Structures are given as C-alpha cells and as structure tokens.
Structure 1
Amino acid sequence: MTWTDRQRTMLRAMGLNVWAPVARPQPVEPALVEVAEPTPLALAEAESVPAAPAAASPQPAPARPVPRGPAPAVPMAVHPAPPEALPPLADDIAALDWPALREAVAACRACALCDSRTQTVFGVGHPQADWMIVGEAPGEQEDLKGEPFVGPAGQLLDQMLKALGLTRSEAPPEQQVYIANTLKCRPPRNRNPEPAELARCEPFLRRQLALVQPKVILAMGRFAVQTLLRSNDAIGRLRGRVHEYDGVPLVVTYHPAYLLRQPADKAKAWEDLCLAASLLQR
C-alpha cells in the first residue's frame, strides 16, 4: 500500500511509524561498449610515451676475485734430439789398422772432453818402435799442436831419450820411440782425468800397444800406471822393478812435468830409464 504524504503526516502525528518498503535495485544489464579502432595519431602518441621500466630482476652478487697463480705453461712441441755418434765398441777398435784408428780417435765423442778440445792428440813416433812411452793426458800445448809431450815437459823428455840414443824423430825402430797418452783429449784447465774418461779412452791405447808391439813399455805418471797396471800404489812404490803388460816388460817412472817441479827426483827417473834399456840389452 502506498501512503500519500498527507497520510504519513497524520500517522506520525498519532505516534505511528509508517513502514515503507525499500525498493530493491534492479540489476542493470551491462551495456555493450563499442571499442573503436585506434587511429594512427593515437598510435604515434602512444609510442612517444616512454614505457614504464620493467621490474629489475635481482642481480647476483659480484663474485669475489680468486687469487690466481702463474698461468700454466703452454706445452711446447718436443723434437727428439738427433742421436749422437755412439763410441766404437772395444771389439771394433781392436780390429782397426793405423789409419782407421787415427780416424776413430779424431771422431770420438765417447765423453764430454770432445766438447772442450781443440783437437785430439793421437800419438807420434815409429809404428813398430822397440820403445813405447805412455803418458797421462794432453795439456794446453799438446791440445794446440796435436802431439803428446810438447812444451817444457816434452823438451825434458827429449833430453832424457837423447841420453839413451833414442828419439821421437825419424830413425830406425831400435832408436825411435812411439809416444802416446792414456787420454786423447785435454781435460779442461788441465784437471786430473776422471775414471770414466780413462775407461772410455783405454781401448784406443790398447790398440796402439797392439799395433806397435813394443819390446819395452815406459809408463810415465800416476794415471798411466793406473791404466796399465790397475794399481793405485804411488809411483815411488812401483818404480825400480819390472812389471808386465800383456807379456811386455813395463817400467814405471815419474812424469817429466813432475820432474820439473821436483828436480831432485831426476836421478831416480834416470835409473828407471837405465832399467828399461837393460831389458832390451838382454
């Protein structure tokens, strides 16, 4: 029932409340909105507006620098060194004649002495001499000339030989000597020969002794004695008597270089030469 405004006023005057139904809101149909196509001008304006920056993705914390050592070496190509000429075997040396033996000594690289030598010191004298003198190692003068026992020591040796009627120069076999050293190369700064060096060079000396076939051998100096007699005894203990090397009589005496430093022992050396000469007279 719908009350008029006059009736509501009278009812309120009588103390009566007038209830009026509240109209429910009617659902409104959603209106269809027509979306117009954007005009070129609108597109241009939209492009001119800077876009909102995108939310920055969290960046990882910078890595702490790690101490670095030296850069690893880059491997280099390794080329095998050319094989060095092997030293001739003792059995091969034992079959050489004089020319081949001289060539073998000149080409020898069996030890490190070949790197510091000027030239090898082969030997000098008659190839079938009655006397064979064996010294120690070449010195500076021998290395330069290529001949054993030169310089002051060689001059003293020549005087000793001359006193016996012997020489290293041209002469008959009974008057000419053959001289060789245990080493064919000079050790640096004239140091003492090392055992390995003596062992490498010994086959050459053995072949020289076999080719000469002397009637007496005179070993001069400690290293010549050690090589030929395999003895470490001092010269003073070995001299004054006759030894043997492959059936050949051998006499031990001092080296001329030692006699230049110790002239008092020249008399002993002369006794040794006289002992060797007496062996030939027998």
Structure 2
Amino acid sequence: MDTLDLVAEEVRKCQKCRLWKYRKNAVPGEGNNKAEIMFVGEAPGENEDIEGKPFVGAAGKLLTRLINEVLGLSREDVFITNLVKCRPPNNRDPEEDEIIACSPYLHRQIELIRPRIIITLGRHSTSYLFQIMNIKMESIGKVRGKFYTWNGHEYRILVFPTYHPAAALYNPPIRKILEEDFRKVKEALSSKPISLDNFLYGSGNKGEKGNSDSSK
C-alpha cells in the first residue's frame, strides 16, 4: 500500500537522475496528508537542500505569511512540495530529463492526498501540469489567477497557477498580485463543493477544463 512516508523514503534514496550527486538532502515535501490545498513549486533551493524541507528560505517565509495571513491557515493545514525534489546546481532551472525522472513522485503524492486545489508556484510546475491536462501554456502572467479543472479517473482537482514567491523578492509589486491570487483561493475554499462550478464559471472567473490520466 502506497503512503506519503513511503514516497518520502524513496525520494531520499533516489538516484534516478544526476541531481542526487549534488544534493545534501532530497526534499520530498511536507504537510497535511488530507490537505485541501497542495502547493507545487519548482525545485529546492540552497536552504531547502540544507534542511531537507520545502520553502524554508526567504521565498518560503513569504509563502508562509501568505498562507497564514491571506488563507487563514498554517503550513500544517496544507501540503507543500516541488516538481523536482533535489536542488539543481547553482539553482538553475530543472532540465527535462530531471523532471521526467522525478515527476512520478509528484503524481503519487497527488493521488494519495487528492487535494481540492493545487496551487502551482511559477512557470515550471504550471507548465508541467498544463501539459498533463492538455492545456496550452502561455506566460505565467497570462495564466495566473484562474482555476483550471483537472479531471482524473476518480477525482477532479482545481489547478490554480500563480507567481513563485521568489519573484516577489526581486519584483515587489508581485507581492500584491500574490495576495490577490490567494484571496481568490480563499473565496473558492469557502464556497460549498456543490456550487463550485457556479463560482468558477458563473461569476466571472472563466476556468478552463482539462482531461488527463495521472499515470502519464
């Protein structure tokens, strides 16, 4: 029987791509195994590599504040992970073969948690899930702040792209955009599941639907 602990154990021992040679610690992710919200970032940075935990650097502190102050939740209420579980050298972008090697871990986490909403942080995790959902990827600035429906075999998950918190560290106006996006998520969470489609498609938020097989 698959569990999040088993996934984490496998991630920590993983040698499926070159990144294991450079890491201090793999970063499987952490949080509530029944979370309604799951955050998917790009890859661990220096601080995450040292501590073995996701989003613990400056960008992570901003993410934590957004979770606390805008969503009214704690990190223990959500699940936080990355598309790639090991730090790329010099914080470079993950390469395609690294994403291919690592993505099955993310799929298993999604399958086990089955969150109501996945918030993709930045273009890499957004682009990856859009590819699975058969949705055309544009710039993160164009696709952010909207809900996209991921229809799996036995579940439906809303995917909500926004900027990576690190972007706000270099471009302060993005902080306001992140706050705006997180408020949209809070509003969606407060709506009853039976009326969620009306919230998405009947009140000005034009979500897009995608169909996928999570085993791809």
TM-score normalised by length of structure 1: 0.62
**For residues 198 and 187 of structure 1, what CA distance do their matches in structure 2 show?**
11
Q: How does 1:168-247 map to 2 (within 5 A)?
A: 168-169=75-76, 176-230=77-131, 231-245=136-150, 246=152, 247=156
Match of 1:258 in 2: 167
**For residues 102 and 128 of structure 1, what CA distance do their matches in structure 2 show?**
16
Q: CA deviation at 1:96?
A: 2.4
**For residues 235 and 160 of structure 1, what CA distance do their matches in structure 2 show?**
19
Match among 166, 170, 176 for residue 73 of structure 2: 166
Bigger radius of gyration, 1 or 2? 1
**For residues 224 and 98 of structure 1, what CA distance do their matches in structure 2 show?**
20
Asked whether the 8 Å contact 1:148–1:181 carries over to 2, the reply is yes
The CA RMSD over aligned residues, in Å, is: 1.2
Which structure has more RCO (C-alpha within 8 Å, separation ≥ 6)? 2
**For residues 111 and 105 of structure 2, what CA distance do their matches in structure 1 show?**
10
Question: Are 2:29 and 1:128 equivalent residues in the alignment?
Answer: no
Code of the residue aligned with 2:85 in structure 1: it is: K
Match of 1:272 in 2: 181
Asked whether the 8 Å contact 1:242–1:251 carries over to 2, the reply is yes
Match among 41, 61, 71 for residue 155 of structure 1: 61
Match of 1:51 in 2: none
**For residues 112 and 240 of structure 1, what CA distance do their matches in structure 2 show?**
34
Code of the residue aligned with 1:204 in structure 2: it is: Y
What SS does structure 2 have at the residue aligned with 1:257? helix
**For residues 216 and 277 of structure 1, what CA distance do their matches in structure 2 show?**
11
Indicate the structure with greater helix content.
2
Code of the residue aligned with 2:73 in structure 1: it is: L
Q: How does 1:42-191 map to 2 (within 5 A)?
A: 96-163=2-69, 164-169=71-76, 176-191=77-92
Asked whether the 8 Å contact 1:253–1:269 carries over to 2, the reply is yes
What SS does structure 2 have at the residue aligned with 1:280? helix
What SS does structure 2 have at the residue aligned with 1:199? helix
- Per-residue deviation, residues 46-105 of structure 1 (Å, max 9, x unmatched): xxxxxxxxxxxxxxxxxxxxxxxxxxxxxxxxxxxxxxxxxxxxxxxxx62222212211
Counting matched residue pairs gives 182
Residue ranges of structure 2 left out of the alignment (5+ in a row): 192-216
TM-score normalised by length of structure 2: 0.81
